[in-house]
Copies of this chain bind each other. A is one copy, B any other.
Amino acid sequence: MEKINSLQNAHVKAWKKLQTKKGRRQQGLYLLDGWHLVNEALKAKQPIKALLITAKQLATKPDLTVFPTVIEISEEVAAHISATVTPQGVFALVPLATSQADPLTDLDLTRPWLLLDNVQDPGNIGTMVRTADAAGFAGVAFGRGTVDLHQPKVERSMQGSQFHLKLISTDLESLVERLHTADVPVYGSELNPQAAQYLDVRAPACFGLIMGNEGNGMRRELLALTDKNLYIPIKGQAESLNVAVAAGILMFGLYR
């Protein structure tokens, strides 16, 4: 088994760069951090290129026959390439899906889609993907301006749900157009006087639901393309709901 201990090693330098979108695109790879995500990727039959593992984790005698390549790394290397403060000491290198094919062809239109417009907080994004998974959605679309789906904190907070439903990065205007072509309604979630109370809406089996930026909500241009805007009635004095909580209420409220 190859062993890599030095932060000066060229591989280590390359792995560190996978924390950035540019690094991931240039290498065509992303990194999964920790056994939970690695095991979820295995369960979902993701094509793992290599496993990076510390001596301490090797001592737990995991089954490594499933990995084409296993490289032992030092604790120092693990700490360097991880985006967490206390990494577990196990990582998988996974090829990015080849984005040759247009993600908008071949969409599952039997179930709903969640569309993220300029959402910024990795924790919120991960929680929404996990909730969409739990609610039985077909997938989540990451619009331009939304944090990249392979950003380490986003990967971690999705907790494996990234392998349970379809995640696509796309221009949301094009996706809305595609949904409209198939007579699928798209709902916005901007508080405005024309908004409909979400419980009054009878959503079909497939619809699109757009959640916007934490501070500014949805972009006007996108809002203009929606069929209906939904609001959650606020009874108390809170100015707003956390975006992930609002998404949960709407997803479970609309799709029962």
Closest to A44 in B: B237
A247 CA / B239 CA spacing, docked (Å): 18
A245 touches which of B127, B161, B235 (Cβ 8 Å): B127
Please give the count of copies of this chain that the complex contains: 2
Contact of B238 with A133 in the complex, beta carbons under 8 Å: yes
State whether the Cβ of A226 lies closer than 8 Å to any Cβ in chain B. Answer: no
B residues near A234, Cβ cutoff 8 Å: 134
Stretch at the interface among A73-81, A90-98, A248-256: A248-256
Q: How many residues of A contact B (CB 8 A)?
A: 35
Given contacts A244-B245, A248-B248, A249-B248, are A238 and B161 in contact (CB under 8 A)?
yes
A189 CA / B246 CA spacing, docked (Å): 19
B residues near A235, Cβ cutoff 8 Å: 134-136
A137 touches which of B127, B236, B248 (Cβ 8 Å): B236
A244 CA / B242 CA spacing, docked (Å): 9
Q: Interface 1/0s, chain A 192-206, versus B by CB < 8 A?
A: 000000010000000
State whether the Cβ of A131 lies closer than 8 Å to any Cβ in chain B. Answer: yes
B residues near A133, Cβ cutoff 8 Å: 236-238
Q: Which 3 residue pairs spanning A and B have beta carbons closest together? A: A136-B235, A245-B248, A134-B238
Task: Sample 7 A-B pairs with CB under 8 A, ordered by A number.
Answer: A130-B238, A130-B241, A131-B242, A136-B235, A232-B252, A245-B245, A253-B253
